[in-house]
Chains A and B, each alone.
Chain A
Amino acid sequence: MRTLADVTGPTGQAASPDAPLGLPRLLPAIGGDGGATPLERHRLRYPEPPRPGRPREDFIAAVERSGLRGRGGASFPTGTKLRAVRDGRGAPVVVVNGSEGEPSSGKDKLLLTMAPHLVLDGALLAAAAVGASQVVVCVDGAATAALEGVGWALAERGGSDGLPVRLAAIPPRYVAGEESALVHWLNGGPATPTRVPPRPFRRGVDRRPTLIDNVETLAHLAQVLRFGPDWFRQLGTAEEPGSALVTLSGAVERPGIYEIPIGASLADLAGRAGGPPDGAGAVLVGGYFGSWLGADTASGASLCNSDLRRHGASLGCGAVMVLGRRACGLAETARILAWLAGQTAGQCGPCVHGLAAVARTTAALHDGHAGAGDLDRLRRWAGQIEGRGACRLPDGAVRLLRSALEVFAGDVWRHLDGGGCPAGVRSFPQRAPAAAPTQGGLPWR
């Protein structure tokens, strides 16, 4: 069995000749025949992870050096999280967060369906790094293909990983994927966010330090420890190294999951996917939890947080939705806000009441039933709602609303007081999926 030192060399330089050059990185782990990579073929490239015992300082150091950041949306440095969990009291638990509640994102389901062994290796390597005693893989209960994929992979591995790895189907709700909600559910409660402190990395599942990492993050982690942190840094930017999976949907000819180097041009990606010939009207970056970019901003934007933050946006989970020029951004925003309002856990007054009010008023605005007073109310509510929930759901809705009011200011003005979409603009967006297919049907490109 090859060990980490065998393949990376003492300095961590990628000594292996089969380290991927450029792109794609994650996606070759996906079987060429359209099915999941079987264990045997996976093991030809990736050695078996070591059995967890005492925490592995060299693993943590390698991940820290790689600069890998979480791909679930928060973009938190993974190495720092590993270290914090390792320093906690009690035997840690590793939780693979495959909830992917964001409807416009399909990358995690894709990885779990097609490359489960890469993800599982990543989870086990993380477990070895922090000295964990169990791994739980959490998958959206409605994502049957992903559940099957992980189930098969675990059966193939046949419990040879040296510690218990179990699969848990979690309720298909947006907030169920939030850190504290996941811990709450795994501890036997409902999948709703809880009051924090203590944060899960300190006390989570069974009151033990819990490492919660996104599926894609763990896949990258497996590659970092296989090919070395310096190899990982060959793509991406200095602050956000590596590659990332982007789920591209909307007014493009070839929607699907693309792997990009972080910092790639949004316009290039849209072009590669067959973007609208007359250019995009607007782009939603970061999924339902993200914010709108206007056409001009989008044409010059790079897909990395340091650039997107200047425009009040962030990469989030990498979901990008392109709106054609003939689609109404207000309609789309109203639809998304209505969906977000329905996803509230129902625990916090400002979220329950606030999101419902915001969704209702935005819909009224689109229908032409709203006036300037309603617009003021929307702005006031945005200020009242943000930061006052137990989780970040209301903050995400507020961010979406504010970006919509700014980017679609012209549309808003036209819709006020009985107005509507100008001639030629349809109220329904072109080809924007109402919800991501749960069967992992979005193809990778």
Chain B
Amino acid sequence: MTPILASTPALWYLARGSGIVSLGLLTLTVLLGIATSTRWATERWPRLVVAGLHRNLSLLSVVFLGLHVGTVVVDGYVPIRWLDAVIPFGSSYRPLWLGLGATAFDVLAALVVTSLLRVRLGHRVWRAVHWAAYACWPLAVAHSLGIGSDNRQGWLLALDALAIAAVAAAVCWRLAIGQTRQPSSQLAPTTGSGHAHTR
């Protein structure tokens, strides 16, 4: 496929930059998603804000991801087709690393679509698909580390390390807290003697 536009440095920088931004937004989305599932909240960050931000940042990351995919395909510097963005491991350019990115894209598309249609699909279906978020993010990180032309740059490696550390810490915290389940039918509940939840 002949490129639609000739390659320009500006387009290439936009492609790489939008990729990095979308990864950053995706990382924040994952952190907020974990916070939502543990019902974390403070005075200035009530739960509706945490949940709402999680939703909005995920949509914003999809926008930047779209920009990233679009500019990469349109730019002629590397031979990547539209098809390679969604069907993984079929490209001629770095098939493995690009394929990881395409897989991450597919999973993210599934997450977003099922979330938008959540009320119609029902809780069980939505929840089953949403577990894949824990697969989506590592795929995106691996893609960024393996494919980028900047992957020798210290600042990119530092950003990725920060993102990995943050998500790893959040996951550990989530596991430590345990799942938010209904209390079992024991006589003593986990809350105190009937005092109200502080909100």
Q: What residues of chain A have their CB less than 8 Å away from a CB belonging to chain B?
A: 338, 341-347, 349, 352-353, 356-357, 359-361, 377, 381
B182 close to chain A: CB less than 8 A: yes
Chain B min CB distance to A388 (Å) = 15
Chain A min CB distance to B196 (Å) = 11
Q: Is A338 a contact of B182 with CB atoms below 8 Å? A: no
Beyond A342-B186, A357-B189, A381-B194, 5 additional contacts (C-beta under 8 Å) are A341-B187, A346-B182, A352-B185, A353-B191, A377-B194
List chain B residues, Cβ under 8 A from A342: 185-187
Q: Is A344 a contact of B194 with CB atoms below 8 Å? A: no
B183 close to chain A: CB less than 8 A: yes
B2 close to chain A: CB less than 8 A: no
Chain B min CB distance to A44 (Å) = 48
Cβ-neighbour of B189 out of A338, A356, A381 (below 8 A): A356
- Residue in A342, A347, A356, A361 whose Cβ sees the most chain B Cβ within 10 Å: A356
B119 close to chain A: CB less than 8 A: no
Q: Is A357 a contact of B193 with CB atoms below 8 Å? A: yes
Closest to A346 in B: B185
List chain A residues, Cβ under 8 A from B194: 353, 357, 361, 377, 381
Chain B min CB distance to A52 (Å) = 38
Q: Is A345 a contact of B185 with CB atoms below 8 Å? A: yes
Chain A min CB distance to B68 (Å) = 44
Closest to A354 in B: B194
Interface size class of chain B, counting residues whose CB lies under 8 Å from the partner chain: 10 to 19
Q: What residues of chain B have their CB less than 8 Å away from a CB belonging to chain A?
A: 182-189, 191, 193-194
Q: Is B187 a contact of A359 with CB atoms below 8 Å? A: yes
CA distance A341 to B185 in the complex (A): 8
CA distance A377 to B194 in the complex (A): 9
Closest to A348 in B: B182
Q: Is B185 a contact of A338 with CB atoms below 8 Å? A: no
Chain A min CB distance to B182 (Å) = 6
Q: Is A353 a contact of B189 with CB atoms below 8 Å? A: yes
CA distance A320 to B185 in the complex (A): 27
Chain B min CB distance to A320 (Å) = 27
CA distance A381 to B193 in the complex (A): 12
List chain B residues, Cβ under 8 A from A361: 193-194
List chain B residues, Cβ under 8 A from A377: 194
CA distance A366 to B187 in the complex (A): 18
List chain B residues, Cβ under 8 A from A343: 185
Closest to B181 in A: A346
Cβ-neighbour of B193 out of A347, A349, A360 (below 8 A): A360
CA distance A346 to B182 in the complex (A): 7
Q: Is A352 a contact of B183 with CB atoms below 8 Å? A: yes
CA distance A401 to B78 in the complex (A): 76
List chain A residues, Cβ under 8 A from B186: 342
CA distance A347 to B186 in the complex (A): 12
List chain A residues, Cβ under 8 A from B185: 342-346, 352
CA distance A377 to B195 in the complex (A): 10
Chain B min CB distance to A383 (Å) = 14
| 3 interchain residue pairs of minimum CB distance | A346-B185, A357-B194, A344-B185
Q: Is A346 a contact of B184 with CB atoms below 8 Å? A: yes
Q: Is A356 a contact of B187 with CB atoms below 8 Å? A: yes
Q: What are 18 pairs between A and B in contact, CB < 8 Å?
A: A338-B187, A341-B187, A342-B186, A345-B185, A346-B182, A346-B184, A346-B185, A347-B182, A352-B182, A352-B185, A353-B191, A356-B187, A357-B194, A360-B187, A360-B188, A361-B193, A361-B194, A377-B194
List chain A residues, Cβ under 8 A from B184: 346
CA distance A356 to B189 in the complex (A): 7
Q: Is A356 a contact of B182 with CB atoms below 8 Å? A: no
Chain B min CB distance to A77 (Å) = 33
CA distance A360 to B182 in the complex (A): 20
CA distance A346 to B190 in the complex (A): 13
